[in-house]
Structures are given as C-alpha cells and as structure tokens.
Structure 1
C-alpha cells in the first residue's frame, strides 16, 4: 500500500513551493494555505493577517473541512482548487486562498470571491508545474510513502454489519469533496461492476488512501456501501416493477443470480422472492 507525500513535496528543494506561496500571499494581500485530501493543513497559513483575524486563529487548527461552509460566519471570502500530480494522475490535496471581508456588503463578497478564484487558479497551475519539475528531477519514489497492510484495519472492515448498512446510509453525511464525488459516481453507476480502483481513479486518489478516507467519512467500507446501494435499488425494483429477479440481478451488475440472492439476504434478512411477496415490507 502506498500514498503520495504532499508535505515532502512542499518542503523539497529547500522549501521552494513554500517560499513561492509565502511570497504570493505577502504581495497579493491574501492568505494562502494547502490542505491534504483529508482537509488537514499541510503547511502554515501564509500572508499578512490582521490582528485578531479569524484566519489567524485558524492557523492553530488542523481540520479545515468546514471552512467553505462557514465563510460568512468567519467574515471571510474563500476559494480553493484541487492539486493533481500528473505523473500518477491523482489528486493529492488543494490550494486555498482567503481574505478577510469585515462587515462587507454582498457585492464586496462577490468581488472578493471572483478575485480569489482567479488567484487560486493561478496558484494551482503554479504548484502543479513546479511539482512536475521537482518530481522529474528527484524521482517519484522520493514522494511515495509505502505502508504495510494494517491487519487490525482489515479485520475492522470484515466486521462491517451488512444488516445495519441500509439504515446507516440513510443518515450518511460528509463534507469531503472527494467522497461526495465518489458517492455521486457510485450512485450514478449502480448498473456497473465497479471496483475500488475504478472509483478511486475517478476522484484522483490512490486506492489505499481512498479506502481509508471513505471508511472514515462514511463509517462503511467501500464494498459494503456499494452493495448496500445496489440492494437498496433492488428493493425498490422488486416492489415497484415486474422485472424478474434475474433481470434485476443483471441490471445491478451482479455476475450470478446466486450471489445477488445471497447478498440481498445478508443486507435485508430476506430472499428476493420472499421480500417481493411479503406484504409487511
């Protein structure tokens, strides 16, 4: 198992990228910072911040996943853009810019937002192009962290309760953009035989990191969530359509009817035919 080390990249070549971000922040009167895929700070928050600024206080925090949601509460305007490493075709984090908007009008926020969006787009391309040069010079292996398989984590995945998964996904909530995109992709492709590798590539994450992040954000492993959504769709089709069990199995990408029936019973406690005819469901 392996993961890209964004912090090492930012600090490499005598902190070239960090110095570039610091200089940009100071000369453009904005705050600049970089978050990992887990929305945790990878560097400090750069820029000249006013005394008592909310962003100054945030510099002591690590998890900034709620920043875009609470920007009006914090009296700031904010924009971000994903950072992708072309060599491995993966998203490794995002660059963010923010600015205090003290008691500003709606037009002040709109003007600030447009300006910050232009700036963050520039910083995204700056980081990605400089990163390409650094990685080409030093080699990709210098920025890849390899992990041994976590046995406890693997056992934890096996303990996922299929019987509780259908209830759990009803109240599921996450603010992580990568996981939101992954869920939208899964839900739009329930007829496909999706794999962890396919979905992680879709959101530009390594399969190892995506698996960990998905479990942390949703409380379910990727495979349990995928099957739960398929079974949820199957329940609707069994009750509201005249399709045969075989047709429903095929429509949801199951390779064998026997496997579909076995999975359906794990999640619902019923065989598909029994569920269809039972008036109590």
Structure 2
C-alpha cells in the first residue's frame, strides 16, 4: 500500500514551493495554506492574518475539514482547489486561499470570492507544474510512503454492525464533494459489480485515502455502505415487484444467489423469501 507524502514535496528543493506560497500570500494580502487529503494542515498558514479575527487561530488548528462551511463564523471568504499529480493520476490534497471580509458587505464579498477563485486556480497550476518538474528530476519514489499492511482491508474489517447500516444511510449527511460524487455513482450503478478502485479513480484519490475519507464522512466503510444500498433497493423490489429473488440478485450485481441471501439476512435479519411474504416494515 502506498501513500503520497505531500509534506516532503512541499519541503523539497530547499522548500521552493513553501517560499513561493509565502511570497504570493504576502504580495496579495491573503492567507494561503495546503491541506492533505485528510484535511490536515501542511507546512503552516502563509500570509498576514488579522489579529482581531478568529482566522488568526487557523494556523493552530490541525483538522481544517470544516473551514469551508464555517467561513462566516470566521468572517472570511474562502476558496480551494484540488492538487493532482500527473505521474500517479491522483489527488494529493488541496491548496486554499482566504481573506478577511466584512459580514455586511455582500456585493464586495462576491467580488472578493471571484478574485480568490482566480488566485486559487493559479496556485493549483503553480504547485502542480513545479511538483511535476521536481518528480521528473528526483523520481516518484522519493515522495511515496510504502506500507507493508493492506490498509484497505484493515479499514473494511473495522467492527461494524451491518444491521445498523440501513438505519445510518437514511440519515447520512456529508458536504465532501468527492464522497457526494461517489455516493451518486453508487446510486446510479446498483446493478453493477462495483469495486473500490473504480471510485477512488473517479475522484483521483488512492484506494487508501478514499477508504479513509469515506469512513470518516459516512461512518461506514465503503463495502458496508455499498452493500447496504443494494440491500435497501432489494427490500423495495421484494415488496413492490414480481421479480424472482434470483432476478433481484442478478439485477443488483450479486454473482451468486447464496451470497445475496446471506448478505440480505446479515443486513436485515431476514432471509429474502421470509421478508417478501411476511408483513415486515
């Protein structure tokens, strides 16, 4: 299992990227910072921040995953953009920009936001371009951490109660764009045999990071969520259609009827045949 080391990239070549980000932040009077795929701060916040504003506390925070939805609390405008590495075709984190604004200055804040979006796109291009040059010179292996354990299996094997999964997905809420995209893809492709690498590739994340992010945002591992959605659809079909159990199993991408029946019972407590004939809500 491999993980890209974003911090090593930022600190490479005598901290070239860090110095460029610092200079850009100071010149444009904004805050600039980089987060990894876990939304943890890398190398600090660059730029002069208002001492009277709550944003001055940002550089003391480790997990900035809620900053975008809490920007009004900090009286800031905020924008971010994903950073991808072409050599591995993966997203390794995101670059973020922010600046203080007045809560009442609505039109002015819109203009600020437009400017921040242009600035963050430029910084994303800057980081990706320099990163690609550094990697071409030094090789990708210098920036990859290798694990001996299969962390995907470790995440999927966390103690979870499948019978609770159906309840949890009814009240699931996330603002993470990658996870929203993955959930929409699941919902539109319940008839297919879906694999972890299909989803991680769609959002340009490694299998490890995608698994970790999915678990954090939904409270369920990817495999448990996927099966819960399939079983949820099966429950509807068993009650509202004339399809046979074998046809329902096939329509939801299960390769064997026995595995479908086993999974259905694990999530609902009932065999498919019993669920269909009995008055069970």
Q: Deviation at 1:110?
A: 0.7
Query: Which residue number in structure 2 is paired with residue 79 of structure 1?
Result: 79
Cα deviations by residue, 1:37-71 (Å, 9 ceiling, x for unpaired) = 11111121111222222221111111111111111
The 3-state SS of whatever aligns with 1:68 is coil
Query: Which residue number in structure 2 is paired with residue 42 of structure 1?
Result: 42
What CA distance in whole angstroms lies between the structure 2 residues aligned with 1:265 and 1:50? Answer: 57
What CA distance in whole angstroms lies between the structure 1 residues aligned with 2:110 and 2:197? Answer: 39
Query: Which residue number in structure 2 is paired with residue 8 of structure 1?
Result: 8
Checking the alignment, whether the CA contact within 8 Å between 2:156 and 2:221 is kept in structure 1 is: no
What CA distance in whole angstroms lies between the structure 2 residues aligned with 1:104 and 1:112? Answer: 13
When normalised by structure 1's length, the TM-score is 0.94
Query: Which residue number in structure 1 is paired with residue 244 of structure 2?
Result: 244
What CA distance in whole angstroms lies between the structure 2 residues aligned with 1:156 and 1:32? Answer: 35
1:201-280 to 2 correspondences below 5 Å: 201-280=201-280
Deviates more, 1:161-170 or 1:114-123: 161-170
1:20-59 to 2 correspondences below 5 Å: 20-59=20-59
Q: Deviation at 1:155?
A: 8.4
When normalised by structure 2's length, the TM-score is 0.94
What CA distance in whole angstroms lies between the structure 1 residues aligned with 2:232 and 2:180? Answer: 19
The 3-state SS of whatever aligns with 1:43 is strand
What CA distance in whole angstroms lies between the structure 2 residues aligned with 1:167 and 1:49? Answer: 44
Q: How many residues in Structure 1 have an aligned counterpart in Structure 2?
A: 280
Structure 2 runs not aligned, ≥5 long: none
What CA distance in whole angstroms lies between the structure 2 residues aligned with 1:217 and 1:78? Answer: 21
Q: Deviation at 1:156?
A: 7.3
Matched, 1:182 2:147: no
Checking the alignment, whether the CA contact within 8 Å between 1:78 and 1:99 is kept in structure 2 is: yes
Q: Deviation at 1:108?
A: 1.3
Deviates more, 1:216-225 or 1:260-269: 216-225
| Superposed CA RMSD | 1.8
1:181-200 to 2 correspondences below 5 Å: 181-200=181-200
Checking the alignment, whether the CA contact within 8 Å between 2:156 and 2:222 is kept in structure 1 is: no
Structure 1 runs not aligned, ≥5 long: none
What CA distance in whole angstroms lies between the structure 2 residues aligned with 1:13 and 1:186? Answer: 42
The 3-state SS of whatever aligns with 1:70 is coil
